[in-house]
Amino acid sequence: MPVACCLLPAAEGREPLLRIYRQAYVGRLVAALRGNFSVLPKVLGDKAFDAPARAYLHAHPSTHPSIRGFGHRLPGFMAERDDLVPHPALIDVARMEWALRTAFDAADQEPIDAQALADVAADAWPSLVFDAVLGVRLFELGWNVAPVWRAL
């Protein structure tokens, strides 16, 4: 049997198919941002979230096969593009969400044993230095966004 009889004919006008793929890809990445920043779209509203999300995708396309960490630059991007953010507190919402997400994803560590602390001599306490666990995140917020985050 000749090979030619088993091949599909060349697609005419591949552009519509590529456009569909491109739109689906962008839609999937916007959905990933919605998942990685679950409170931000609720505060902005789904439609209003699309503009900064699509602008972010254009400026910072995904380069990793996993979308788990996609959006790590979104808070900084929002700070640079205040034209896309109706209120600066939303930047802090994004900062807080990302900090919580990365803290959640951090590796588990063994806590300090209470007895080990009890055994430390009293005169040794002033010179003790504790290391923070891997999930600790320190970040600065200009707005009190925690109540909004908790409410949503």
At residue 26, the pLDDT reads 85
At residue 104, the pLDDT reads 87
pLDDT tens for 90-137 read 999 999 999 999 888 888 888 889 999 999 999 999 999 988 888 888
Prediction pTM value: 0.75
Does residue 4 register a pLDDT over 60?
Answer: no
Question: Which of these, 16, 24, 43, 56, lies nearest to 151 by C-alpha position?
Answer: 43
Residue for token pair 């000749």: 2
Residues in the chain: 152
Question: Which of these, 51, 56, 66, 61, lies nearest to 22 by C-alpha position?
Answer: 61
CA atoms within 13 A on the CB side of 66: 4
Max mean pLDDT among 24-33, 75-84, 133-142 falls in: 75-84
pLDDT tens for 44-88 read 998 899 999 999 999 999 998 888 889 999 999 999 998 999 999
- How far is residue 44's CA from residue 90's CA, in Å, rounded to a whole number? 8
Q: How is the chain split among helix, strand and coil, in percent rounded to 5?
A: 60, 0, 40
60 contacts 77 by C-beta, under 8 angstroms: yes
- How far is residue 45's CA from residue 42's CA, in Å, rounded to a whole number? 5
CA-based end-to-end distance of the chain:
63
Does residue 3 register a pLDDT over 80?
Answer: no
Question: In the structure, what pLDDT confidence band is assigned to residue 15 with cuts at 50, 70 and 90?
Answer: low
Q: Output the six-digit token pair for 137.
A: 């995140």
